[in-house]
Chains A and B, each alone.
Chain A
């Protein structure tokens, strides 16, 4: 049956289309990113599938519910469309969690809690499927159980933020803020759907739409050029750290991360003289030499080298704030943005740990390696 569309309905639908369009594009973007990174064989990228499916289910669900509310007059069709809409809405958090309930994500979630939350979310879903109408009080009350899943999804993302560094951390935080705002609009959608306050239903509707659009826009901005999720594995990609005094060409601190990450007692058992192959001091001299050659060849003595990238390894460089002749060199396997901030953090920690005495002890004639070895405590905390 074709019903006449009023101006008010038309405008409500137009405004509603804005977040729907952003949501659909976000979903496509997540799926696209997932398939683009598929060859990397990184299980962590499954979270892209989770986000894509979650966004798609929520958007299609709200689209169906709005269609039923604005354009349908046949009660049977309204009941059917609403039912499908609610089923999709309740499926969204379950599907989100299904993709990531795996040991690979154990750092950020608890598998048992995940399963429990999903089972609880199945209760309103079962009601939506089995009951004749979604108007039933028992169904409406059971929706509260869905909130648990949403809260747990937010908790997982808080953990992700905790595990990342620098720019990536900022991007995830922005993403979570956007997501939180968008999810809060579901509360408005619920109010509009059950028509709790019929007189101000339109105001609630527009407020919800504005909030949803703002949330999606924040996600949209935070997702621009989003890094792949292997940033989580920045620790595994760490290789070695050298802190060099370029005045004396001595390596004043060294850490082999590969060993430190494998062996819990690494910092207690390792000694300054244990390091094999190219010793730290030779390395220091070579690096200082390379820096001098490059400075001279490119005629840029004032600017220091930031990065040297070879096929299999990358060297990140940073230089002391207080003492510019102290070079901090981080050797890694992958070019991840988290490494930049990790190295910057090492520099800040090193300078504050030895604050006041750094200049005096660094210029001691004998290699003060043993003294700087106490920095192990800080490094071990940073990589745990």
Chain B
């Protein structure tokens, strides 16, 4: 049996060609975004322990595939309903291709949630969102075997889970970057881009197109194109937020005066050898003095000592030296160390100039560490 409904698709309006071009352009660019994230993950996989890039890569590739299937379904597939149709009692070429589109974005979003939650607990327990999403996919998949043309309302739980997750992720991002103005602007651009992407996508759904015609779809597509601009600026100008999540990388922090006395030290890992902070600070001060001498370098500024699996960042201010012991290289950490030292020297200037040997006064340095490094 053959039945025709709506006859909206394949799109044959005068709007077809411009709409097709806009949708093809942003699908392709989103695919490239995914590819770039994957490349970034691949290149840094030995250095970085994060999966954020892989999460973004999964989402953008899933989103691009969704749109590639939409293009095939809406421009090149028939909406004629046949019964029976392949495995199902009824269906059309368009609904089959649309189901592939749904599975692409579900797969992309699931991987994205998995890699994000692998790094951090966002809500209740690890993999909470991944599990909810997986259950929803399971239910959807079972129903899919009975009905090809499932009602679009069944997609809403996926939206709800993903939007809730994004909301929590954005809060986390803002918490991480709130101290750096440039990053705050970056976070704003990023959030703006994602909101535009979702708004634009919503405007291109069939329900709205049936109500308002293809002009609303063109508007939605243009908004999605605009979201690319936001995300493009964000990815080009702003370093990844994961670079500023120092928690897993810093093993210890030392504040040393010019005489080599450890004014403050804190270890974030359990030390096996029980070496005292004073022994460490004296040793590191000697090394710093020696290095300055043999390399004929300035007495102030940054030094980095790299070993396999251990990096020491030293920043010498006019009165103190800060030392960070990290387990891997972080591109931006030195500027935070510098900020830390300058802040300590500003606050403790009088104490440092006329130091009487009482280090208990430096206990509040812990708050400065929290403020600067977010530890």
Contacts and interface: CB of A to CB of B under 8 A. Distances in A.
Interface of A: 5, 10, 13-14, 17-18, 21-22, 25, 32, 220-221, 224-225, 278, 283, 286-287, 289-290, 293-294, 296-300, 303-313, 315, 331
A18 B26 CA distance: 11
A25 B306 contact: no
Top 3 A-B pairs ranked by shortest CB distance?
A: A311-B301, A309-B304, A310-B297
Contact of B275 (A5, A297, A307, A315): A297
Given A297-B283, A303-B310, A309 B28 contact: no
Given A294-B305, A300-B310, A307-B304, 8 more contacts: A21-B25, A21-B32, A220-B35, A221-B39, A297-B283, A298-B310, A310-B291, A310-B295
A315 B296 CA distance: 12
Interface in B284-303: 284, 286-287, 290-298, 300-303
B28 A290 contact: no
A225 B40 CA distance: 9
A286 B17 contact: no
B272 interface: yes
Contacts of A278: 293-294
Contact of A310 (B21, B301, B312, B325): B301
A13 B21 CA distance: 9
B291 A224 contact: no
A305 B311 CA distance: 9
B309 A311 contact: no
Contacts of A304: 307-308
Interface string B300-336: 1111111111101000000000000100000000000
Contact of B287 (A5, A224, A290): A290
Interface in B81-103: none
Contacts of A300: 307-310
Given A296-B283, A297-B280, A311 B305 contact: no
Contact of B295 (A17, A32, A298, A315): A315
Contacts of B290: 286, 289-290
Contact of B40 (A224, A293, A296, A308): A224
A374 B236 CA distance: 50
A9 B202 CA distance: 30
A293 B28 contact: no
A206 to B, nearest CB: 16
B305 A305 contact: yes
Contact of A294 (B287, B292, B300): B287
Contacts of A21: 25, 28-29, 32
B307 A297 contact: no
A286 B287 CA distance: 9
A306 B308 contact: yes
A14 B39 CA distance: 25
Contacts of A303: 307-310
A362 B71 CA distance: 71
Interface centre among A5, A25, A225, A294 (most CB of B within 10 A): A294
B152 interface: no
Nearest to A11: B76
Nearest to A335: B304
Contact of A298 (B36, B296, B302, B312): B312
Given A5-B17, A225-B43, A298-B312, A309 B302 contact: yes
A312 B295 contact: yes
B303 A310 contact: yes
B295 A313 contact: yes
A25 to B, nearest CB: 7
Given A297-B283, A298-B310, A311-B301, A25 B32 contact: yes
B119 interface: no
Contacts of A310: 291-292, 295, 297-298, 301-303
B326 to A, nearest CB: 11
Contact of A297 (B21, B284, B293, B301): B284
Interface string B103-143: 00000000000000000000000000000000000000000
Contacts of B287: 290, 293-294
Contacts of B283: 293, 296-297
Nearest to B36: A224
B20 interface: yes
Nearest to B304: A309
A224 B236 CA distance: 12
B129 to A, nearest CB: 30
B13 interface: no
A278 to B, nearest CB: 6
B55 to A, nearest CB: 18
Contact of B25 (A5, A17, A306): A17
Contacts of A13: 21
B247 interface: no
B358 interface: no
Nearest to B280: A297
A220 B284 CA distance: 44
Nearest to B44: A225
Nearest to A13: B21
B301 A14 contact: no
